[in-house]
Structure 1
Amino acid sequence: MSKNIYVGNLPWSVSEDEVRSAFEQYGQVNSVNLISDRETGRPRGFGFVEMDDAGAMEAIKNMDGKDFGGRNLKVNEARPRAEKPRW
């Protein structure tokens, strides 16, 4: 079973590989998805990491508040995206 983790307050210059290697020390990383602005293509400073359950809990415990590229990360279990009404 895997868990999706929200990772916020990322430096805009960070790569998916850098995020992957930071989280791999806590367990198997299945995927990394850094979010970009649709219109400009610039990074938005957050993303999602999918990991095995045990590794995810360990990563959340150890990475939340940790300095990463000069910024303190915000790391927690991702919540399902709320449905937006389509007008």
Structure 2
Amino acid sequence: MNIYVSNLSFAVQDEDLRGFFAEYGEVTSAKVIMDKFTNRSRGFGFVEMADKEGAEKAIKELDGATVDGRAIKVNEARPKEDRPKKPAYSNNRW
């Protein structure tokens, strides 16, 4: 199951994210998303867990938990096609 984690402290790294979820089951991947220009955390990440039951328990127990002074938001990640589309940037100045 793929899990979306937001409102992360900018100090949280991949291994920290993995550690938050490891007690709930096997974490197959954990990735904090980095800004491609500044190489700083964007404050969110994704965790992939092998076991659906463990993932659901982690979501339930970690959603709203305080990590580095911030209340994190944890929920099941939605597939890319389910997200609302952003309008394309236009350079036209009409």
**TM norm structure 1:** 0.88
Q: Does 1:25 align with 2:23?
A: yes
Give 3-state SS (helix, strand or coil) of 2:64's partner: coil
Q: Which has the larger radius of gyration?
A: 2
Where in structure 2 are there 5+ consecutive unaligned residues?
89-94
Deviation at 1:17, TM superposition (A): 1.2
Q: Does 1:68 align with 2:85?
A: no
Out of 31-40 and 42-51, give the one that drifted further: 31-40
How is 1:7-26 mapped onto 2 (pairs within 5 angstroms)? 7-26=5-24
Q: How far apart in 2 are the matches of 1:18 and 1:34? A: 9
Aligned identity (percent) is 52
1:44-78 deviation digits (Å, cap 9, x = unpaired): 00000000211110100000000011000100000
Per residue, is there more strand in 1 or in 2?
1
**Aligned pairs, number:** 85
Higher relative contact order (CA 8 A, sep 6+): 1
Deviation at 1:5, TM superposition (A): 0.1
